[in-house]
Amino acid sequence: MPGRTDLTAEGVGDAEGQRTGRRDFRWYWAGQSVSVVGDQVAAFVLPTIAITAFGASSLEVGVLNMLNTGAYSLLGLFVGVLMDRRRRRPVMVASDVVRGLAFGAVPLLTLSGDSHLGMLYAVAVVAGVCAVFFNVASQSHLPTLVGPDFLGTANARMEISNTLALVLGPALGGWLVQWWGGPTALAVNALSFCFSVAGILVIRTPEPPPDAKSRNSLWQDLREGVRVLWHHEVLRRTTLASAARNFGNTAVNTVLLLFAYRALGLSAGVAGILFASGTVAAVLGAWLTVPMRRRAGTGRALLGANAAAAVWVFAPLALVLPPLPTLLVLRVVSSFSLPLWNSTVVTLRQEAVPAGLLGRVSATAGTLNFSAIPFGALLGGLAAQGLSAALGTRDGLALTLAVSGLAAGSGTLALLRRTVRSLP
């Protein structure tokens, strides 16, 4: 495959091993499907408790969200080095156990009367750090669990679970908070990690030992992961395109509700339909990822999926055309393409990088991609405020969405090289 001749994948060996790996994957997928819903419950419930129980200000809520999501930018590269030096499954189990204990401590401290905002900050930090360890270990471990022929399907199924969790998690969290209170909702989230741990512990496929040949310093290993990603043309270009997409998509999501409410006068119920349509489209896109890759080829699928992110350049049409149908089309196209892009990029990386380097390379890519998200939120908000002041609310918000869409799809330019376009 062009652009991938320098690195070779390490797959599961015989047919029996592949069948065992697929059976194990089904248990692992089931556990993770419950766990990722729990993650989204926590993402909703933590700020809800901060606001309703402790009267947190906007700044304090922002700090809470930053503590929960900012660990990747600080620790991702170092975690990648560690995950290439040890077995991944024990790290995944330990990460889930610690996260479960952290969330489970909230209702216990509440019952004892020792709850305060600092407690939520501490839980957010612990959960964020453990999530980095788990995610890097999980992406590095999956190729050793399933055969190379099933790897794309496995990643697509994980995307289905992640997409559904984005809707089910907040809805379940809201229901739990309303009926049983925030601390109880976090206790339920703590239990979700038991399913994840169980799904890992029942795996019978042997995990290859870590590569013991190289014992460089941490900094040498870290630089090697960055170097491998940067010098591999396909991985470099897809990583840069992913970062651009994350940046632009976050800016779009920051501004979209403002545009719907203030520029178009849509109701909250109609806006809910708009966001729900994106979730349905994303699940469908994840389900059809493998057949679309087979039909179009990986390179063309990547180009089409990333170009679709730029569809928000047409957002100003909602000012002159029927607004809801226009936004529905834009939302469906953008959301449908996202899981196709995500799972294909992850699969390419897992296929191209040997197991002994995959932790570092995955962490390097993840650090770049996750670091783009807060910048997209910040600059999207600033652009919306500045352009609205200069052009008026309607035109300013519409232009911000258009520019954000252009940024989201700008990485397509990096994918036009033949090494990417010709990927089978």
DSSP codes joined into one string, 266-326: --HHHHHHHHHHHHHHHHHHHHTHHHHHHHH-HHHHHHHHHHGGGGGGGGGGGGTS-HHHH
Question: 158 with 130: CB under 8 angstroms?
Answer: no
Q: CA–CA separation, 350 vs 367, rounded Å?
A: 16
Q: By the 8 A CB rule, do 49 and 182 touch?
A: yes
The residue written with tokens 């607004």 in the block is 323
Q: What's residue 84's pLDDT?
A: 82
Query: What's the average model confidence in pLDDT over 193-212?
Result: 84
Question: What pLDDT, on a 0 to 100 scale, did the predictor assign at position 94?
Answer: 94
**Whole-model pTM?**
0.77
Q: How many angstroms separate the CA atoms of 12 and 398, rounded?
A: 50
- pLDDT-based confidence at 214, cuts 50/70/90? low
Tokens of 233: 């043309």
The CATH code that applies to domain 15-203 is: 1.20.1250.20
Query: Tokens standing for 122?
Result: 């501490």
| CATH code for the part of the protein at 223-421 | 1.20.1250.20
Lowest-confidence segment of 110-114, 175-179, 349-353 by average pLDDT: 110-114
- pLDDT above 80 (res 306): yes
Over 50: is that where the pLDDT of 200 sits?
yes
Amino acid at 61: V
Residue 405, pLDDT score? 93
Give the residue, 311 or 417, on which the prediction is more confident: 311
Q: Are 373 and 246 in contact (CB under 8 A)?
A: yes
Which pLDDT belongs to residue 215?
A: 63
Q: Where are the alpha helices (DSSP H) in 8-116?
A: 15-54, 58-69, 71-83, 88-112
Range of lowest pLDDT (173-177, 345-349, 389-393, 397-401): 173-177
Average pLDDT for the chain: 82
Range(s) within the chain of domains with CATH label 1.20.1250.20: 15-203, 223-421
